[in-house]
Amino acid sequence: MKKHPRRHAPVIDPYLPGNGNFGYRVSRYDLDLAYKVNANRLSGAVTITATTLASLQTFTLDLSHALSVSKVTVNGRRPESFRTSHDKLHVTLGSALPAGAALSIEVRYAGNPRPIRSMWGEVGFEELTNGALVAGQPNGAASWFPCDDHPSAKASYRIAISTDNPYRAVANGELTSKRTRAAMTTWTYEQAEPTSTYLITLQIGMYDEHRMTKSPVPMKAAVPHRLRHDFEHAFAHQPQMMKLFVKLFGPYPLATGYTVVVTDDDLEIPLEAQGISIFGANHCDRHGKSERLIAHELAHQWFGNSVTARRWRDIWLHEGFACYAEWLWSEESGGRSADEWAKHYYQRLASSREDLLLADPGPRDMFDDRVYKRGAITLHVLRRAIGDDAFFDLLRDWTTRHRHATAVTDDFTGLAAKYSEKPLRPLWQAWLYSTALPDL
């Protein structure tokens, strides 16, 4: 008997072959959620507004197997069938919708959310000692809502989250309402700017709100009461960082300002979300040890959050740029210059394995520190090649041209050519497309 080869679903991004979905484009998510902290119980209804890209009778959404779906409707009608398997919600319609058709998908679901296991550790929805957080990068959004979980799929959001008093719930965008009924408060946030799913977050804890002054952009923080004074020391320079980055990178990309959340627990690393950065109690450091991390996460609002890599192989466009922003802040604030940092980390790279291709590091190494440092040095080499004026003009053009959109490495190298009087191909070949470490 002749064996037929097993057909695999086409892949959107080989770095995350199971993520992303074909046949439609989402423009908006409306999330109505309730979360019980003590029971770690999440129940939700999401309405997804989308458009079909082709004739569509079956489609999928990314959703963790820890969450059970009780009801699905498509354009107000029940589909022929739906089922969940392998972290996907599969929906089959009674008849095909034509290309270009409006698609309104409502999903009701509930469960005990938990992080998604990946080769980079556990990502997504996570319980804290007293509360919860979402750390979505790169594939954690499906741990708490059904979605098209890929960075190239940007949408707007409304997030209404009901949780126990007296917890504070923080999500992306503007807080448009806060209503308390009995023992629960519903917090509603509106995130108008197109945002990748991994950059949507939910933070629940016993937080005080603290507004920061003397910043060119509105800034606030959600901080446990016990850490308030430590926070004021550790984050004292954040307004000056914002001022510098607005000058160097262009206008701050979000109308709603910037929020920092400090959890009551220690976190291994801070993480970025759209308009929000999340730090652990251990980052409230009075001795300035977290200063570079504070600069790094703020810079992601331009590089990674607003201008997002269309595919994960181009992650140096996030991490190399945010790492270079650390050096620019150091230079501005009286620390080592960017040139000194480049030389320092060049020596470190010289004593490391030379098997990493910056423009395509592979999924296992996409969060390797060499991506961050080699990416930053690449930008410094470019800055020296074209001069400061052209370099910062290029960065501002980059953040303007691709604001709230996605881009790939070729977009950056193509744009850089307009700011250079000499060919940059040898520079890119040496730093982006070769594994050997070139001369500095």
Residue range 394-411, pLDDT digits in tens:
999 999 999 999 999 999
pLDDT in tens, 226-271: 999 999 999 999 999 999 999 999 999 999 999 999 999 999 999 9
Q: How many Cβ atoms from other residues are within 10 Å of residue 311's Cβ?
A: 19
Q: What local confidence, expressed as pLDDT, does residue 2 receive?
A: 45
Q: Are strands 219-223 and 258-262 parallel, antiparallel or unpaired?
A: parallel
d(CA 197, CA 250): 24
d(CA 324, CA 322): 5
Q: Are strands 258-262 and 271-273 parallel, antiparallel or unpaired?
A: unpaired
| Residue position matching structure tokens 């959340």 | 261
Which amino acid, 273?
A: A
Per-residue pLDDT of the chain (440 residues), as tens digits, is: 444 444 456 899 999 999 999 999 999 999 999 999 999 999 999 999 999 999 999 999 999 999 999 999 999 999 999 999 999 999 999 999 999 999 999 999 999 999 999 999 999 999 999 999 999 999 999 999 999 999 999 999 999 999 999 999 999 999 999 999 999 999 999 999 999 999 999 999 999 999 998 999 999 999 999 999 999 999 999 999 999 999 999 999 999 999 999 999 999 999 999 999 999 999 998 888 999 999 999 999 999 999 999 999 999 999 999 999 999 999 999 999 999 999 999 999 999 999 999 999 999 999 999 999 999 999 999 999 999 999 999 999 999 999 999 999 999 999 999 999 999 999 999 999 999 999 99
Q: What local confidence, expressed as pLDDT, does residue 285 receive?
A: 86
d(CA 96, CA 17): 26
Q: Which residues of 243-252 are buried (b: 16+ CB within 10 A; e: fewer)?
A: ebbeebbbeb
Cβ neighbours of residue 351 closer than 8 Å, sequence gap 6 or more? none
Cβ neighbours of residue 24 closer than 8 Å, sequence gap 6 or more? 50, 51, 52, 53, 56, 59, 103, 148
Q: What local confidence, expressed as pLDDT, does residue 9 receive?
A: 66
d(CA 408, CA 432): 13
Full set of structural domains in the chain with CATH: 24-195 (2.60.40.1730), 208-301 (3.30.2010.30), 309-431 (1.10.390.10)
Please, are residues 248 and 308 in contact by the beta-carbon 8 Å criterion?
A: no
Query: In the numeric block, which tokens belong to residue 313?
Result: 């192989």
Q: What local confidence, expressed as pLDDT, does residue 409 receive?
A: 98
Q: What local confidence, expressed as pLDDT, does residue 49 receive?
A: 98
Q: What local confidence, expressed as pLDDT, does residue 169 receive?
A: 98
Phi-psi region of 250 (alpha: psi -120 to 50; beta: other; left: phi over 0): left
User: Which sign does the torsion angle of CA 380, 381, 384, 388 carry?
Assistant: negative
Query: In the numeric block, which tokens belong to residue 108?
Result: 């009701």
Q: What local confidence, expressed as pLDDT, does residue 1 receive?
A: 45
pTM above 0.85, yes or no: yes
Cα-to-chain-centroid distance, residue 10: 24
Phi-psi region of 137 (alpha: psi -120 to 50; beta: other; left: phi over 0): beta
| Residue position matching structure tokens 């991994």 | 198
